[in-house]
Amino acid sequence: MTDCFRTCLKSSSAPLCYSSSTLMAHSPALTSLHFLLLSFTLTFFFFFFFFFPTFCVSVSVAEKPKTFIVRVDHDAKPSVFTTHKHWYESSLKSVSSDEGSRIIHTYQTVFHGFSAKLSPSEVQKLQDLTGVLAVIPEQVRQIQTTRSPHFLGLKTGDSSGLLKESDFGSDLVIGVIDTGIWPERESFSDRDLGPVPVKWKGTCVVSNNFHATSCNRKLIGARYFCNGYESTNGKMNETSEFRSPRDSDGHGTHTASIAAGRYVSPASMLGYASGVAAGMAPKARLAAYKVCWTAGCYDSDILAAFDAAVSDGVDVVSLSVGGVVVPYYLDAIAIGAFGAADHGVFVSASAGNGGPGGLTVTNVAPWVTTVGAGSIDRDFPADVKLGDGRVISGVSVYSGPGLAPGRLYPLIYAGSEGRDGYSASLCLEGALDPNVVREKIVLCDRGINSRAAKGEVVRNAGGVGMILANGVFDGEGLVADSHVLPATAVGASGGDELRKYISAANSNTKNSEKSRVTATATATIVFRGTRLGVRPAPVVAAFSARGPNPESPEILKPDVIAPGLNILAAWPEGIGPSGLPSDKRSTAFNILSGTSMACPHVSGLAALLKAAHPEWSPAAIRSALMTTAYVVDNRGEMMVDESTGNTSTVMDYGSGHVDPQKAMNPGLVYDLSTFDYVDFLCNSNYSEKNIQAVTRKNADCSGARRAGHVGNLNYPSMSAVFQQFSDDKEQGRRMSTHFIRTVTNVGEPKSIYQLTVKPPGGTTVTVQPEKLVFRRVGQKLSFLVRVKANAVKLSPGSSTMTSGSLVWSDGKHVVTSPIVVTMQQPL
């Protein structure tokens, strides 16, 4: 398993795996925000290739076939062909001298077309064929993981509320596109469940390790897709992974049980987080679509899974997978998700683990609900006690023989003691000297290899314990890991304090042989188990990817945050909780962190909302979650950013933290249709051909169809981006924009909503009308929002962001929309 593939499980340093959402130069909606990123990217590539000419690619390498996804005009099939597949095969033969078919998948539900191995010359020829709308290069994606139902207010004993109203999600089907599933876990029991929903058209793919009985009335479908993976990597090694829906990684089992796991008691991870484990929608049905393998998750397989899931009849797709941001017409996930939404399927996707830096959010298409990660009010303290009596806070879920009670052990910093300072500081394989490390606690830095792997390196070198220190980028955000030796994680400030302590002790030792006994750095690790009622909570997890949206800055992303830090959920047999091959411990549950874990929380909530409100569209469900989200923690103060301890912003959490009970009855929703998204793409300056590649619709981008500008998509948040210029005369210049929004009454038949506006700093916001009077459920009313701002002094290439809110309330419902204003100064 590659380190990046395991990022959300045991990440060493998420930014190494999740880039800052690199933009492609041919984006049709290139704003100055794109330009700043693009300038940096081009500068980097110029430097790289100018000073490293040996990386030039030969003609033979350039001609090597790669996987592409081909979007076709479904209606353009000549009548001479009996099937679309026959047409695809003929088209492929017409551009290739290779007689053998290289089609990997054909698609017919969310997408019309096929995937195939193509050389560059074949790509060019194929693009010129009639009926071919787009030829999209394949990306390789990476996966991005109880008390959370209680923290979210989903209590089983309530006589009313979302669980009761939705019958716990019964008969709703959640499709989990991930690493597969371990069906024998109690979380996937079908006890007391009724028959499989009659609408279900899916299947349970049987193999020698996944039998027909692996599926039941809970897990009603299971498929796997590996053609794209094998097309690039060759036949898989079936001794290390299963050619079946069975999970050999753990990620898919974990996310599936978060979304819809049954109640299991007692549940714990080797003694940690003891209690009742449950998913968000305990009676919802599950369908597993395995697309992720040891080398990653390939676009052609992901798109095939979307195609199958929608055809099978899922109501919700949960996708904890991501990659770099590209224009929507080149993004297989965005294309597959659009097709799903067009069929009425809600799509929830992880925001990525590239935080706390900005411009890191992924899965940013407006028809996808993008989910960041927050904490719950539970943690796992494991503190470092130093020889001088100081205590540095840390976290860990290590379970095994502890350090000797009351004993202090020699403490060293790996970066000062290894064979190679940099490699040693990161505790990379082979970098530590056993003669130095033996019987000591070792301080390691985060980065490159996984956090758990660092502990394994220390253990193999003879160390008795490890302290893992965050770097400056990681800040104070801590993730609890199930290490293979006594170990804990500390923040960046704690790491600095430890290095200073070690350095001072070493300095004293060098100055005086006598001081060796008293001055040498010593420490121990004290594991304190599970702590409940933690304050503040929630906080925005340090790793959670942040906005602004790199592709469409006018659409605020992430949309919401949900529990994603230290989440307990089901785990397969045969995989140790650290995920390391050498870890032979067995546990039915594991504690993981990542936006991968936040995403299925929202997927399960969406299933509950769909069960309670069958008539709601995917956009209405997202709106309900967004407009009822909160931004205040359990202290009654604004949520903080875990990485810094400072107040978090809308770029961190979007509309806020989900509140399921309030989302059940939001009062008003901002609804959207397929054609609204087409207008959005028109206003994003996408060509009609590119729009058709995304939507399968013939786009008319004439003035009559356009909604005015990108920000006029009927989204539950509003984001304005103003461009400034370097001319001194610009100072104080007045800039303005407007938003047109339409809300649908889903609350009381007769209701009057009054307006409250909190303008972003330095702006004036006016709304017409200031009162909305509804006479019936389902009635739609529109309003106009005008935002005016003055130019501010900025240095070239910089920007500033302020935020406020627009709130409609009838005294019972509070419908909140963030307003964000960004001022940019181009280079």
Catalytic residue of the set 171, 178, 301, 559: 178
Does residue 251 carry a catalytic annotation? yes
Catalytic residue of the set 11, 148, 166, 596: 596
629: left (phi over 0), alpha (psi -120 to 50) or beta: beta
| Token code pair at residue 462 | 């003879």
Does residue 623 carry a catalytic annotation? no
**Strands 113-118 and 103-107, sheet pairing:** antiparallel
Catalytic residue of the set 112, 251, 254, 601: 251
Give yes or no for a contact between 222 and 181, defined as CB atoms under 8 angstroms apart: yes
SS3 content of the chain, % helix, strand, coil (to 5): 30, 25, 45
Distance CA 681, CA 28 (A): 10
Alpha carbon 386 to its chain centroid, in Å, reads 37
Which residue in the block uniquely carries the two structure tokens 């009559």?
A: 704
Residues 6+ apart with CB under 8 A from 623: 666, 669, 670, 671, 716
Alpha carbon 370 to its chain centroid, in Å, reads 7
Give yes or no for a contact between 221 and 204, defined as CB atoms under 8 angstroms apart: yes
SS3 string of 682-736?
A: HHCCCCHHHHHHHHCCCCCCCCCCCCCCHHHCCCCCEEEEEECCCCHHHCCCEEE
Does residue 101 carry a catalytic annotation? no
Give yes or no for a contact between 444 and 466, defined as CB atoms under 8 angstroms apart: yes
Distance CA 602, CA 609 (A): 10
CA gyration radius, the chain:
27
Residues 6+ apart with CB under 8 A from 307: 105, 107, 108, 109, 110, 111, 336, 339
SS3 string of 266-312?
A: EEEECCEEEEEECCCCCCCEEEEEECEECCEEEHHHHHHHHHHHHHH
**Bridge-partner residues for 569, per DSSP?**
590
| Token code pair at residue 214 | 């692996």
Alpha carbon separation from 174 to 276, 280, 389, 688 (Å, rounded): 22, 11, 52, 33
Residues serving a catalytic function are 178, 251, 596
